[in-house]
Amino acid sequence: MAQRLKNIKAVIMDVDGVLTDGSIIVDANGVETKNFDVQDGFGIVFLQQCGIKTAIISARESGVVAHRARDLKIDKVHVGVYPKLSAYESCLREFKVSDEEVCFIGDDVADLKIMQRCGFAVAVANAVFEVKQTAHYVTQKSGGRGAVRETVELILKAKGQWTPQLYGH
């Protein structure tokens, strides 16, 4: 596992069930909201500070996701794409990375094709059975509850780049 983690140059994530707990809240006016974990967000910032590219690939189109992605300065955002494989291949080309250099974090069967190709496949704790079976690593934390941050720390520690006292200076 350590060697796989050392190779990572890009982290690509699903959104619903990974960056969120999977809940989609829609009010009486049809306005959608989602809950994002602030520590996951800081983890994404830490990746970027270490030169690791970040991307989102989501089957759902969502203004909330686009706003959060802009806020976090995520390098590439693909929303409303299904199947997801062509968006993944676009990220490979744009980031100039190989499958082995990608960590993908997913939770549901729509993520399986990417997880079968990438160098380090991560399933969040609340992922479906098939995703957990495919993953190289299953997080202890659930999606929307620190799973992305847990993955970020694994990667940066393996690369010798986890220095939390430097973040924030």
CATH number at residue 45: 3.40.50.1000
Residue range(s) defining the domain that contains residue 101: 2-24+32-158
**What is the tally of structural domains in the chain?**
1
What are the backbone dihedrals phi and psi of residue 131, each rounded to the nearest 5 degrees, phi first? -70, -45
Q: What pLDDT is attached to residue 63?
A: 87
**149 occurs within a structural domain:** yes
* Residue 51: per-residue pLDDT: 95
pLDDT at 168: 56
pTM above 0.75, yes or no: yes
* Residues whose CB falls within 8 Å of the CB of residue 4, separated by 6 or more in sequence, listed in order: 100, 119, 120, 136
Residue 169 lies in a domain: no
Residue 166 lies in a domain: no
Q: Are 12 and 88 in contact (CB under 8 A)?
A: yes
Q: Can you count the helices (H) and strands (E) in the chain?
A: 7, 8
Does a structural domain hold residue 168? no
User: What averages of pLDDT result for each successive group of 10 residues across the chain (169 residues)?
Assistant: 95 97 91 92 94 96 91 96 96 98 98 98 98 98 97 96 69
Determine, yes or no, domain membership for 54.
yes
What pLDDT was estimated at residue 165?
62
The backbone region for 30, taken as left when phi is positive above 0, alpha when psi lies in -120 to 50, beta otherwise, is left
Q: Measure the CA–CA gap between 1 and 94, rounded to whole angstroms.
A: 26
Give the integer Cα–Cα distance in Å for 98 and 119: 8
